């Protein structure tokens, strides 16, 4: 802990010394210190087991970007973090080139992340690792209404000690899209993508995918229409290790303003269709929906009530379930205090599978759940703010041994010199 | 599951108790059945291991490891002729195998979902982030930063295999990003504000030149110019949405000064005054509670327009009365907004 405090002092001094803005660019050097706690409570062998991971850390960041009004732009965000559990480094940088009409014709992005765990870390997965992601997109043809975009991406994840839980991989993708112009208030895109992923230590699950997707987003302060669809064909190198499959994912999110309230309707659908279903891989169709209303000023304080429902159809598999709940929430977006709080209570019913005790089939037990969610940001003054995040989700099953509780809390003090 | 366990336990105990008095052939039968039972537990463990390796997670791995230990122990106990204990451990191994398999199956779907959502988030963040920085709106920037911080947490949780929690955190990040986008795309944007400001200024000037000599119009134009000033002040403080709303108000007030297009009707004007009075009490309470000087000034202005409307109505000057009460209602709404 003494070391952590010394590190905090050093970072504060560094941040304080380097907080001057430079001409022609914008720079910002925030410092933050925070406390995170993760709680898992579940049944193991003969008794309940509670796993708690606590982490106290300090983070220093440097955020730079070109002038916002510049035609060609760049940005860079670098971060260093040291804590009681691990050290982290991150670099997120990119550029945008625009033509005379200020339409973007070329962009590049690079994201690098690295983590080193301290000796005796409480994290169960503690192999040091680093990962990178690079994207390039060229728009050879743009008009005021649309643009053609050719895109390529590469990514890797590397662990110091790879294992079944910490798997190295490399993947890449390339595709073409027709999209809205970069400065449009309403965004949309439609296109196709080819992807390939290689697992150096387990070639049997190497895969390639052919994707068609479309996206529409028109968000107003009051009123939203957002739609997304993706269809994918995924081929696995060894279908005996994991079957190849078709996948279809659709999401719709609408909020329609009326004189009394904003009517919210959301729907989602996910379909997995395997060539040969087996083990963890079975055909399924998950349907979700939310319906309700919210009241208040979108830029001030707002409350909402939603009825939620979900159904997983998995044929004869025991996972088939129905779920319904009621969610109430409130959010405030005041300049000095912003945040949201929500509570959902509900129940999930499973289709019972088998009465044969020697069957390999898995059994699920019905449960009631409560989901509490809190996010908040308090601007103490121009330089200091406090961020709070908390999540608590206990499940109460008809079979007590199946009870699970998930919890997460984070408290962070941020200083922007 | 517990029901099954009890049934099997009673059956096996009966068999085992019976075995004490049985002949060696019966004892052999118990041994064979226990052996088959343990063998099947081994099969269940292998099945669960397949599921867990497809969707690894620290919790399912830990439960599976414990189940394997129980299974190994049951084999040793059976070999050392302790069938009762062997059965108990084998049964516990089965419970563990089922629990681990169940977690893995649930996770296999969520893992895919999280990965896709993270990818989509990154796409949206690239698009929205740039626009938010361009807009220069402080609030949108703060939402963006909060959103990025949540997404980083989601990635950390993903790395630790806490998929369900990572999905929850990512949902929060998506929500914050959506809010930042709404402000920046739809309402914010310094470019847009500059254009709107210029357009409104020209419009108000033109109406002033054309109708400035009409005392009733001049009064409305004074309010319009005040709204224009408030818009510039709000923009200078980084509140672009509020600034745009003030510009809209300035345009509406100037339009009323120019030519009200409503059909003139005494009863309609009275209804508008009643509407004003009904709202007045609530808004004045909010303004008083907020302690905002700016909101107080706008409220006073709204009241002045209301009084003029009533006075003009008494004099049967319907057209200027309508202009005044409409302006009063607009200013009342603006005061309410500032009090928020």
Last residue of a domain, one of B107, B139, B162: B107
Last residue of a domain, one of B88, B107, B126: B107
* Tokens linked to A213: 């997707």
User: Looking at the DSSP assignment, which residues form a beta bridge with residue A178?
Assistant: A148, A190
Domain annotation covers residue B151: no
b (16+ CB within 10 A) / e for B304-314: bbbebbbebbe
pLDDT confidence of residue A358: 53
pLDDT confidence of residue A313: 92
* Tokens linked to B296: 């107080």
Domain annotation covers residue B218: yes
**Which of B6, B55, B108, B170 best probes binding to A when mutated, by most A CB atoms within 10 angstroms?**
B108
Q: Are residues B74 and B39 in the same domain?
A: yes
Domain annotation covers residue B217: yes
Task: Specify whether the CB–CB gap between A379 and A337 falls below 8 A.
Answer: yes
Q: Are residues B7 and B103 in the same domain?
A: yes
Q: Using a CB-CB distance cutoff of 8 angstroms, which residues of chain B are in contact with residue A286?
A: 109
Q: Using a CB-CB distance cutoff of 8 angstroms, which residues of chain B are in contact with residue A299?
A: 139, 183, 241-242
What sections of B212-239 are H helices per DSSP?
Answer: 215-236
Q: Are residues B271 and B283 in the same domain?
A: yes
How many whole angstroms from its chain centre is CA B73?
50
| Residues of chain B scoring pLDDT < 50 | 1-8, 10, 13-14, 17, 19, 21
What sections of A341-386 are H helices per DSSP?
Answer: none
Residue A362 and residue B181: Cβ atoms within 8 Å?
no
Task: Specify whether the CB–CB gap between A272 and A284 falls below 8 A.
Answer: yes
Q: How many CB atoms within 10 Å of residue B95?
A: 21
Question: What is d(CA A285, CA A277) in angstroms, rounded to the nearest whole number?
Answer: 13
Q: Are residues B201 and B221 in the same domain?
A: yes
Residue B108 and residue A230: Cβ atoms within 8 Å?
no
| H/E stretch holding B31 | helix B24-54
The nearest CA of chain B is from the CA of A377 a distance in Å of: 8
Question: What is d(CA B303, CA A233) in angstroms, rounded to the nearest whole number?
Answer: 66
The dihedrals phi and psi of A307, each to the nearest 5 degrees, come to -100, 130
| Residues of chain A scoring pLDDT < 70 | 1-24, 44-46, 68-69, 182-185, 219-222, 279-280, 298-299, 352-362
The nearest CA of chain A is from the CA of B217 a distance in Å of: 31
Cα–Cα distances in angstroms (integers) from residue B283 to residues A87, A136, B74, in the given order: 52, 53, 75
pLDDT confidence of residue A4: 37
Question: What is d(CA A222, CA B44) in angstroms, rounded to the nearest whole number?
Answer: 53
Domain annotation covers residue B78: yes
Last residue of a domain, one of B259, B280, B298: B259
Nearest CB partner across the interface for A280, out of B51, B61, B187: B51
The nearest CA of chain B is from the CA of A9 a distance in Å of: 22
Q: Are residues B250 and B337 in the same domain?
A: no
pLDDT confidence of residue A353: 52
Angle, in degrees to the nearest 10, between helices B163-181 and B83-135: 10
Half-sphere exposure of B243 (CA within 13 A, CB side): 27
Give the chain B residue whose CA is nearest to the CA of A71. B134
Question: What is d(CA A410, CA A370) in angstroms, rounded to the nearest whole number?
Answer: 20
* Tokens linked to A185: 């208030």
Q: Using a CB-CB distance cutoff of 8 angstroms, which residues of chain B are in contact with residue A357?
A: 4-5, 7-8
Residue A301 and residue B340: Cβ atoms within 8 Å?
yes
Nearest CB partner across the interface for B172, out of A65, A68, A375: A375
Nearest CB partner across the interface for A40, out of B44, B59, B98: B59
pLDDT confidence of residue A19: 39
Sequence-separated contacts (24+) of A69-76 with Cβ below 8 Å = A69/B134, A71/A98, A71/A102, A72/A96, A72/A97, A72/A98, A73/A98, A73/B130, A75/B133
Q: Are residues B252 and B272 in the same domain?
A: no
Question: What is d(CA A106, CA B278) in angstroms, rounded to the nearest whole number?
Answer: 57
Structural domain for B27, as ranges: 3-107
Q: Are residues B25 and B94 in the same domain?
A: yes
The nearest CA of chain A is from the CA of B15 a distance in Å of: 17
Domain annotation covers residue B274: yes
Kindly report the pTM of this predicted structure: 0.70
Task: Specify whether the CB–CB gap between A24 and A404 falls below 8 A.
Answer: no
Q: Using a CB-CB distance cutoff of 8 angstroms, which residues of chain B are in contact with residue A221?
A: 182-183, 186-187, 241
DSSP string, A261-303: -EEEEEEEEEEEEESS-BTTB--EEEEEEEEEEEEE-TTSEEE
Domain annotation covers residue B162: no
CATH classification at residue B316 = 1.20.1270
Task: Specify whether the CB–CB gap between A399 and B2 falls below 8 A.
Answer: yes
Domain annotation covers residue B83: yes
The dihedrals phi and psi of B54, each to the nearest 5 degrees, come to -70, -35
Q: Are residues B248 and B274 in the same domain?
A: no
Q: Are residues B271 and B237 in the same domain?
A: no
* Tokens linked to A341: 């709080």
pLDDT confidence of residue B189: 55
Half-sphere exposure of B276 (CA within 13 A, CB side): 27
| H/E stretch holding B124 | helix B83-135
pLDDT confidence of residue A360: 57
Q: Are residues B15 and B94 in the same domain?
A: yes
Q: Are residues B47 and B8 in the same domain?
A: yes
Question: What is d(CA A363, CA B109) in angstroms, rounded to the nearest whole number?
Answer: 17
Q: Are residues B30 and B86 in the same domain?
A: yes
Question: What is d(CA B199, CA B182) in angstroms, rounded to the nearest whole number?
Answer: 23
The dihedrals phi and psi of B306, each to the nearest 5 degrees, come to -65, -45
Task: Specify whether the CB–CB gap between A326 and A307 falls below 8 A.
Answer: yes
Angle, in degrees to the nearest 10, between helices B190-211 and B240-258: 20
Domain annotation covers residue B332: yes
| Domain count of the fold of chain B | 3
Q: How many CB atoms within 10 Å of residue A380?
A: 12
The nearest CA of chain B is from the CA of A362 a distance in Å of: 6
Cα–Cα nearest to A384, from A410, A412, A416: A416
Q: How far apart are the first and last CA of chain B?
A: 56
């Amino acid at each position: 802990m003494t070391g952590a405090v010394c590190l905090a002092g050093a970072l504060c001094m560094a941040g304080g010394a380097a907080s001057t803005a430079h001409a022609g660019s914008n720079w910002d050097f925030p410092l933050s210190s925070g406390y995170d706690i993760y709680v898992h409570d579940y049944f193991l062998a003969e008794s309940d087991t509670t796993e708690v991971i606590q982490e106290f850390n300090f983070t220093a960041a440097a955020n730079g970007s070109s002038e916002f009004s510049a035609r060609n732009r760049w940005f860079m965000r670098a971060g260093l973090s040291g804590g009681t559990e691990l050290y982290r480094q991150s670099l997120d940088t990119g550029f945008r080139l625009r033509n005379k009409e200020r339409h973007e014709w070329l962009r590049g992005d690079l994201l690098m992340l690295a983590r080193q765990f301290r000796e005796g870390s409480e994290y169960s997965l503690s192999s040091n690792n680093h990962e990178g992601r690079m994207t390039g997109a060229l728009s050879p043809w743009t008009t005021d209404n649309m643009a053609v975009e050719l895109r390529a991406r590469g990514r890797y994840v590397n662990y110091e000690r790879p294992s079944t839980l910490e798997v190295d991989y490399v993947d890449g993708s390339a595709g073409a899209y027709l999209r809205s112009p970069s400065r449009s208030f309403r965004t949309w895109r439609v296109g196709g993508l080819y992807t390939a992923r290689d697992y150096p230590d387990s070639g049997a699950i190497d895969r390639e995918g052919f994707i068609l997707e479309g996206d529409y987003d028109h968000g107003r302060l009051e009123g939203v229409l957002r739609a997304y669809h993706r269809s994918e064909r995924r081929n696995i190198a060894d279908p005996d290790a994991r079957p190849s499959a078709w996948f279809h994912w659709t999401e719709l999110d609408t909020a329609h303003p009326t004189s009394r309230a904003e009517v919210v309707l959301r729907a989602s659908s996910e379909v997995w269709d395997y060539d040969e279903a087996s083990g963890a891989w079975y055909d399924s169709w998950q349907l979700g929906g939310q319906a309700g209303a919210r009241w208040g000023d979108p830029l001030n304080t707002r409350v909402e009530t939603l009825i939620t429902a979900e159904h997983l159809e998995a044929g004869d598999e025991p996972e088939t379930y129905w779920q319904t709940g009621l969610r109430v929430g409130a959010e405030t977006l005041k300049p000095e205090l912003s945040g949201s709080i929500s509570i959902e209570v509900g129940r999930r019913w499973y289709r019972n599978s088998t009465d044969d005790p020697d069957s390999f089939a898995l059994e699920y037990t019905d449960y009631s759940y409560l989901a509490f969610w809190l996010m908040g940001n308090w601007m103490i003054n121009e330089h200091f703010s406090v961020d709070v995040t908390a999540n608590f989700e206990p499940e109460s099953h008809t079979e007590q041994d199946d009870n699970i509780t998930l919890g997460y809390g984070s408290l962070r003090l941020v200083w922007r010199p | 599951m517990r029901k099954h366990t009890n049934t099997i336990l009673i059956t096996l105990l009966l068999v085992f108790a019976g075995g004490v008095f049985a002949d060696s052939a019966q004892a052999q039968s118990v041994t064979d059945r226990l052996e088959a039972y343990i063998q099947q537990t081994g099969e269940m463990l292998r099945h669960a291991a397949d599921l867990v390796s497809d969707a690894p997670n620290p919790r399912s791995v830990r439960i599976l490891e414990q189940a394997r230990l129980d299974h190994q122990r049951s084999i040793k106990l059976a070999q050392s002729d302790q069938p009762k204990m062997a059965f108990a451990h084998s049964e516990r191994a089965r419970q563990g195998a089922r629990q681990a398999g169940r977690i893995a199956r649930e996770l296999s779907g969520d893992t895919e979902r999280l990965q896709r959502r993270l990818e989509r988030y990154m796409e949206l963040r690239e698009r929205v982030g740039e626009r938010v920085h361009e807009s220069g709106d402080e609030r949108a920037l703060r939402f963006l930063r909060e959103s990025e911080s949540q997404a980083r947490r989601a990635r950390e949780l993903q790395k630790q295999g806490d998929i369900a929690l990572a999905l929850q955190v990512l949902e929060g990040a998506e929500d914050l990003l959506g809010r930042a986008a709404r402000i920046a795309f739809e309402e914010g944007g310094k470019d847009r504000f500059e254009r709107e400001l210029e357009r409104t200024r020209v419009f108000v000037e033109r109406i002033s030149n054309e109708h400035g000599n009409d005392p009733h119009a001049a009064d409305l134009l004074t309010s319009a110019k005040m709204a224009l000033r408030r818009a510039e002040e709000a923009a200078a403080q980084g509140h672009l949405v509020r600034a745009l709303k003030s510009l809209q108000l300035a345009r509406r007030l100037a339009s009323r000064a120019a030519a009200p297009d409503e059909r003139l009707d005494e009863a309609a004007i009275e209804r508008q005054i009643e509407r004003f009075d009904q709202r007045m009490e609530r808004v004045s309470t909010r303004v008083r509670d907020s302690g905002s000087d700016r909101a107080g000034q706008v409220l006073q202005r709204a009241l002045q327009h209301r009084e003029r409307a009533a006075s003009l109505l008494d004099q049967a000057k319907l057209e200027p009365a309508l202009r005044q009460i409409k302006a009063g209602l607009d200013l009342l709404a603006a005061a309410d907004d500032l009090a928020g």
